[in-house]
Structure 1
Amino acid sequence: MIRRHVVVSGEVQGVFFRDTCRRTAAEHGVSGWVRNRADGSVEAVFEGEPDAVGRVVDWTRQGPPAARVEKAEVVEEDPEGLTGFAVLPSG
Protein backbone atom coordinates (compact mmCIF):
# COMPACT_ATOMS: atom_id res chain seq x y z
CA MET A 1 0.00 0.00 0.00
CA ILE A 2 1.32 3.43 -0.96
CA ARG A 3 0.01 7.01 -0.76
CA ARG A 4 0.62 9.91 -3.13
CA HIS A 5 -0.46 13.52 -2.61
CA VAL A 6 -0.84 15.34 -5.93
CA VAL A 7 -1.42 19.01 -6.78
CA VAL A 8 -2.32 19.62 -10.42
CA SER A 9 -2.15 23.09 -11.93
CA GLY A 10 -3.22 24.56 -15.26
CA GLU A 11 -6.74 24.70 -16.66
CA VAL A 12 -8.05 21.98 -14.35
CA GLN A 13 -11.21 23.44 -12.80
CA GLY A 14 -14.54 23.49 -14.61
CA VAL A 15 -13.47 20.63 -16.90
CA PHE A 16 -14.86 17.65 -14.91
CA PHE A 17 -11.40 16.91 -13.50
CA ARG A 18 -12.67 15.86 -10.06
CA ASP A 19 -15.46 13.57 -11.28
CA THR A 20 -13.25 11.95 -13.91
CA CYS A 21 -10.54 11.53 -11.27
CA ARG A 22 -13.05 9.81 -8.96
CA ARG A 23 -14.09 7.43 -11.74
CA THR A 24 -10.49 6.72 -12.76
CA ALA A 25 -9.51 5.94 -9.16
CA ALA A 26 -12.52 3.64 -8.75
CA GLU A 27 -11.65 1.77 -11.97
CA HIS A 28 -8.20 1.05 -10.53
CA GLY A 29 -9.34 0.23 -6.98
CA VAL A 30 -7.61 3.29 -5.53
CA SER A 31 -8.91 5.07 -2.42
CA GLY A 32 -8.55 8.74 -1.50
CA TRP A 33 -10.05 12.10 -2.29
CA VAL A 34 -9.93 15.04 -4.71
CA ARG A 35 -10.90 18.71 -4.36
CA ASN A 36 -10.55 22.09 -6.03
CA ARG A 37 -8.26 24.62 -4.36
CA ALA A 38 -8.83 28.37 -4.14
CA ASP A 39 -5.73 29.02 -6.28
CA GLY A 40 -7.28 27.25 -9.29
CA SER A 41 -5.42 23.97 -8.86
CA VAL A 42 -6.80 20.54 -8.01
CA GLU A 43 -5.47 18.55 -5.05
CA ALA A 44 -5.83 14.79 -4.63
CA VAL A 45 -4.65 11.93 -2.43
CA PHE A 46 -4.43 8.36 -3.72
CA GLU A 47 -3.87 5.20 -1.68
CA GLY A 48 -3.63 1.63 -2.88
CA GLU A 49 -1.42 -0.88 -4.62
CA PRO A 50 1.68 0.73 -6.17
CA ASP A 51 0.81 -0.10 -9.79
CA ALA A 52 -2.77 1.15 -9.45
CA VAL A 53 -1.76 4.38 -7.70
CA GLY A 54 0.91 4.91 -10.35
CA ARG A 55 -1.65 4.62 -13.13
CA VAL A 56 -3.97 7.16 -11.48
CA VAL A 57 -1.09 9.55 -10.79
CA ASP A 58 -0.07 9.22 -14.45
CA TRP A 59 -3.66 10.06 -15.45
CA THR A 60 -3.47 13.34 -13.45
CA ARG A 61 -0.64 14.51 -15.70
CA GLN A 62 -3.14 14.65 -18.56
CA GLY A 63 -6.58 14.76 -16.93
CA PRO A 64 -9.87 14.71 -18.82
CA PRO A 65 -10.03 15.87 -22.47
CA ALA A 66 -10.94 19.52 -21.70
CA ALA A 67 -8.13 19.95 -19.13
CA ARG A 68 -4.80 21.61 -19.88
CA VAL A 69 -2.42 20.31 -17.23
CA GLU A 70 0.70 22.42 -16.82
CA LYS A 71 2.19 20.65 -13.82
CA ALA A 72 1.47 17.76 -11.47
CA GLU A 73 3.45 17.88 -8.23
CA VAL A 74 3.59 14.47 -6.54
CA VAL A 75 4.65 13.89 -2.92
CA GLU A 76 5.06 10.49 -1.25
CA GLU A 77 3.27 10.20 2.09
CA ASP A 78 2.60 7.45 4.62
CA PRO A 79 -0.69 5.62 3.94
CA GLU A 80 -3.57 6.29 6.33
CA GLY A 81 -5.72 3.31 5.32
CA LEU A 82 -8.35 5.31 3.44
CA THR A 83 -11.33 3.46 1.99
CA GLY A 84 -13.47 4.62 -0.91
CA PHE A 85 -12.93 7.76 -2.95
CA ALA A 86 -14.55 11.14 -2.25
CA VAL A 87 -14.94 14.44 -4.04
CA LEU A 88 -14.43 16.95 -1.21
CA PRO A 89 -15.66 20.53 -1.00
CA SER A 90 -13.22 23.13 -2.26
CA GLY A 91 -10.43 23.91 0.14
Structure 2
Amino acid sequence: MLQYEIKISGRVQGVGFRYFTQKQATIFDLTGWVRNTPSGGVVVMVQGEKAVLDTFVDYLRIGPPLSRVTTVSVVEMKITENFSDFHVKY
Protein backbone atom coordinates (compact mmCIF):
# COMPACT_ATOMS: atom_id res chain seq x y z
CA MET A 1 0.00 0.00 0.00
CA LEU A 2 1.17 3.52 -0.87
CA GLN A 3 0.11 7.02 0.14
CA TYR A 4 0.08 9.94 -2.31
CA GLU A 5 -0.27 13.62 -1.64
CA ILE A 6 -1.78 15.12 -4.79
CA LYS A 7 -1.99 18.87 -5.38
CA ILE A 8 -4.21 20.09 -8.20
CA SER A 9 -4.42 23.62 -9.52
CA GLY A 10 -6.52 25.38 -12.14
CA ARG A 11 -10.25 26.00 -12.03
CA VAL A 12 -10.89 23.36 -9.37
CA GLN A 13 -12.93 25.20 -6.73
CA GLY A 14 -16.64 25.83 -7.10
CA VAL A 15 -16.99 23.18 -9.81
CA GLY A 16 -17.63 20.03 -7.75
CA PHE A 17 -14.02 18.86 -7.85
CA ARG A 18 -13.91 17.58 -4.25
CA TYR A 19 -17.10 15.55 -4.71
CA PHE A 20 -15.84 14.22 -8.06
CA THR A 21 -12.65 13.16 -6.26
CA GLN A 22 -14.61 11.48 -3.47
CA LYS A 23 -16.77 9.60 -5.97
CA GLN A 24 -13.74 8.35 -7.94
CA ALA A 25 -11.95 7.31 -4.74
CA THR A 26 -15.03 5.36 -3.64
CA ILE A 27 -15.26 3.64 -7.04
CA PHE A 28 -11.57 2.65 -6.79
CA ASP A 29 -11.93 1.63 -3.11
CA LEU A 30 -9.30 4.14 -1.97
CA THR A 31 -9.08 5.82 1.43
CA GLY A 32 -8.08 9.32 2.49
CA TRP A 33 -9.44 12.84 2.10
CA VAL A 34 -9.71 15.87 -0.18
CA ARG A 35 -9.94 19.58 0.67
CA ASN A 36 -9.69 23.01 -0.91
CA THR A 37 -6.56 25.07 -0.31
CA PRO A 38 -6.45 28.80 0.48
CA SER A 39 -4.51 29.35 -2.78
CA GLY A 40 -7.47 28.15 -4.88
CA GLY A 41 -6.31 24.59 -5.49
CA VAL A 42 -7.25 21.19 -4.13
CA VAL A 43 -5.12 18.79 -2.11
CA VAL A 44 -5.77 15.04 -1.85
CA MET A 45 -4.23 12.57 0.60
CA VAL A 46 -4.99 9.06 -0.61
CA GLN A 47 -3.94 5.48 0.11
CA GLY A 48 -4.11 2.37 -2.04
CA GLU A 49 -2.22 0.12 -4.41
CA LYS A 50 0.11 1.76 -6.95
CA ALA A 51 -1.73 0.76 -10.12
CA VAL A 52 -5.08 1.90 -8.72
CA LEU A 53 -3.62 5.17 -7.39
CA ASP A 54 -2.05 5.95 -10.77
CA THR A 55 -5.38 5.39 -12.55
CA PHE A 56 -7.10 7.59 -9.94
CA VAL A 57 -4.57 10.36 -10.66
CA ASP A 58 -5.39 10.09 -14.38
CA TYR A 59 -9.05 10.79 -13.56
CA LEU A 60 -8.04 13.79 -11.45
CA ARG A 61 -6.06 15.19 -14.40
CA ILE A 62 -9.36 15.31 -16.31
CA GLY A 63 -11.67 16.37 -13.45
CA PRO A 64 -15.40 17.06 -13.61
CA PRO A 65 -16.90 18.82 -16.69
CA LEU A 66 -16.72 22.42 -15.38
CA SER A 67 -13.14 22.15 -14.10
CA ARG A 68 -9.96 23.10 -15.94
CA VAL A 69 -6.98 21.31 -14.43
CA THR A 70 -3.68 23.02 -15.19
CA THR A 71 -1.21 21.16 -12.95
CA VAL A 72 -1.19 17.95 -10.94
CA SER A 73 1.66 17.26 -8.51
CA VAL A 74 1.99 13.78 -7.03
CA VAL A 75 4.32 12.99 -4.12
CA GLU A 76 4.60 9.54 -2.56
CA MET A 77 4.49 9.91 1.21
CA LYS A 78 5.32 7.69 4.14
CA ILE A 79 2.13 6.26 5.67
CA THR A 80 1.69 7.70 9.17
CA GLU A 81 -1.93 6.67 9.68
CA ASN A 82 -4.36 4.31 8.00
CA PHE A 83 -7.53 5.96 6.73
CA SER A 84 -10.78 4.03 7.08
CA ASP A 85 -12.74 5.83 4.34
CA PHE A 86 -12.50 8.68 1.84
CA HIS A 87 -14.11 11.97 2.80
CA VAL A 88 -14.26 15.68 1.99
CA LYS A 89 -12.55 17.91 4.55
CA TYR A 90 -13.93 21.39 5.12
TM range (shorter): over 0.9
- In the alignment, is residue 30 of structure 1 matched against residue 30 of structure 2? yes
- The correspondence of residues 42-61 of structure 1 with structure 2, limited to 5 A, is 42-61=42-61
Which letter maps to 1:87?
V
> C-alpha distance in 2, partners of 1:58/1:2?
16
Per the TM alignment, residue 10 of structure 1 is displaced from its structure 2 partner at its CA by 0.4
State the alpha-carbon separation in 2 of the partners of residues 40 and 58 from structure 1.
21
Task: With the length of structure 1 as denominator, give the TM-score of the two structures.
Answer: 0.93
Is 2:21 aligned against 1:21? yes
Unpaired stretches in structure 1, ≥5 consecutive residues: none
TM-score, scaled relative to structure 2: 0.94
Could you tell me which residue of structure 2 aligns to residue 72 of structure 1?
72
Cα RMSD after superposing both structures = 0.8
Identity among equivalent positions (%) equals 37
- 1:78 and 1:66 map into 2 onto residues whose CA distance is 33
| Deviation beyond 4 Å, 4+ runs, structure 1 | none
CA distance in 2, matches of 1:17, 1:69: 10
**Gapped regions of structure 2 (runs ≥ 5):** none
1:19 CA drift (Å): 0.4
